[in-house]
């Protein structure tokens, strides 16, 4: 019915869109009245999804003839028909988002008593930011144009026409819900659901034929939105454009979640095993491959190595504590005061490691023996042969002669002096004291 041009408002210095009624329709009073009705309809609508109207005017062209024009806000977007032509098919998430935005704009019109009657991809402008703007209310039914359409007349685009609209019955907001369902089908499938050789054939198919199935990759939620919106009977469709918008938003959220899950899904098939690093003649390459192999060692193997290191460290700590205890014991025994004999001479002296011979001309307990506090000096020998009835005196060695160990003494230990334990006996006991000598190697 008109051409749309981009122009400049010289008064306010802004870019605008100017819709000019085609010269062939200017002389037709019916089209002129409908054009003015569109201007009034847009003037009462204030919604981000509906194009704003700034002015309406009629003038005479320089070459003669009348011109009617409508000045509107310029929308920086492309028609949905071009998006479908460029992409072939739109994804379910984008399609449901477009349907939700367009449905909210239709709800604003329906609340004003306005039925668009020509919802189609060509009348939906999609902006670069995803915004959707509904345009061309030229054949809209509104309080300002209630008498412009005669009874039984059919106005609209056959490809997107609801069955009751094609039959010439009274139109309601349900026809816009049906048309928006057809728009969604076209976006998802890449083509309208019904085609034919002429508008009458297409309108009859909308009235009698079942809706063809959508492609298999369309999610069930999106397919359900299309099926409900395109129900043959108006009462079987969504009760309002707002209900359609809510269902479309839910389907868009489901499609976005499914796409996100698909992007983060693990790759199908078995995970390839890591191959060992090949031998390399280059030292730098060998070090690099060795570092890579070390980086992929299993966690269990690293834990095993840490366990072995901890066990070795614990064993070393226990051994060190044992050695410290032994050194402390030997230091304590070395400070034990020697026993004094009858003549005032010590009964024992420190002998060389591994030697049990008496020194200093006397006999007495071996190194490390203990004596009872307060007892008189003992005369018992440090060694007693088994089965004897009393102590066996031992003659002191000659002056300057080296002491020799008794024949029954065990061989000296190679790593540490023998540990000597003794059990002191009281003087009144008839049984002499017995000293037990055990080499370190045998303990």
β-pair type (53-60, 66-73)? antiparallel
* Cα–Cα distance, 176 to 160 (Å, whole number): 9
Distance CA 176, CA 148 (A): 19
Instruction: Kindly state the tokens that stand for 388.
Output: 């004897």
Q: What DSSP character marks residue 310?
A: H
Selecting among 52, 97, 118, 136, the annotated active-site residue is: 118
CB 133 within 8 A of CB 77: yes
**What are the phi and psi torsion angles at 412 (to 5°)?**
-65, 150
DSSP secondary structure letters along 186-230: HHHHSS-S---SSHHHHHHHHHHSPPPPPPTTS-HHHHHHHHHHT
Q: At what angle do helices 220-229 and 92-111 cross, to 10 degrees?
A: 30
Sheet strands side by side (includes 132-134): 77-79, 124-127, 132-134
Q: Determine whether 210 is an active site residue.
A: no
Q: How far apart are CA 389 and CA 408, in angstroms?
A: 19
Q: Which residues are catalytic?
A: 118
């Amino acid at each position: 019915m008109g051409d749309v041009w981009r122009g400049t408002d010289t008064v306010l210095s802004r870019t605008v869109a100017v819709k000019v009624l085609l010269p062939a329709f200017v002389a037709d009073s019916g089209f002129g009245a409908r054009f003015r009705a569109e201007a009034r309809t847009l003037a009462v609508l204030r919604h981000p999804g509906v194009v704003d109207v700034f002015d309406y005017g009629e003038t005479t062209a320089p070459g003669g003839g009348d011109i009617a024009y409508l000045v509107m806000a310029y929308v920086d977007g492309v028609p949905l028909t071009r998006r479908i032509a460029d992409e072939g098919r739109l994804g379910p998430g984008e399609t449901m988002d477009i349907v939700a935005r367009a449905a909210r704009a239709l709800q604003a019109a329906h609340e004003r008593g306005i039925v668009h009657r020509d919802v189609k991809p060509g009348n939906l402008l999609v902006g670069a930011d995803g915004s959707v703007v509904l345009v061309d209310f030229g054949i809209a039914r509104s309080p300002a144009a209630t008498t412009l359409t005669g009874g039984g007349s059919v106005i609209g685009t056959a490809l997107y026409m609801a069955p009751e609209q094609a039959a010439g019955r009274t139109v309601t907001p349900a026809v816009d819900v049906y048309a928006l369902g057809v728009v969604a089908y076209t976006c998802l499938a890449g083509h309208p659901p019904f085609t034919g050789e002429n508008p009458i054939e297409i309108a009859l198919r909308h009235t009698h034929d079942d809706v063809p199935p959508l492609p298999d990759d369309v999610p069930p939620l999106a397919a359900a939105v299309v099926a409900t919106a395109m129900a043959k009977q108006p009462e079987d469709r969504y009760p309002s454009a707002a209900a359609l918008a809510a269902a479309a938003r839910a389907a868009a959220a489901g499609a976005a979640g499914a796409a996100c899950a698909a992007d983060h899904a693990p790759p199908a098939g078995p995970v390839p095993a890591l191959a060992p690093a090949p031998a390399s003649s280059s030292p730098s390459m060998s070090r690099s491959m060795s570092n890579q192999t070390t980086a992929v060692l299993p966690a269990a193997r690293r834990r095993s190595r840490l366990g072995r290191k901890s066990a070795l460290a614990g064993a070393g700590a226990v051994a060190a504590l044992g050695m410290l205890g032994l050194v402390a014991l030997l230091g304590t025994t070395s400070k034990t005061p020697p026993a004094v004999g009858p003549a005032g001479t010590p009964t024992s002296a420190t002998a060389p490691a591994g030697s049990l011979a008496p020194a200093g001309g006397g006999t007495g307990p071996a190194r490390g023996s203990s004596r009872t506090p307060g007892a008189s000096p003992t005369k018992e020998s440090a060694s007693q042969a088994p089965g004897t009835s009393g102590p066996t005196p031992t003659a002191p060695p000659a002056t300057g002669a080296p002491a020799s160990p008794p024949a029954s003494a065990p061989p000296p230990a190679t790593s540490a002096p023998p540990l000597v334990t003794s059990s002191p006996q009281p003087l009144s006991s008839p049984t002499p004291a017995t000293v037990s000598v055990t080499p370190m190697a045998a303990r």
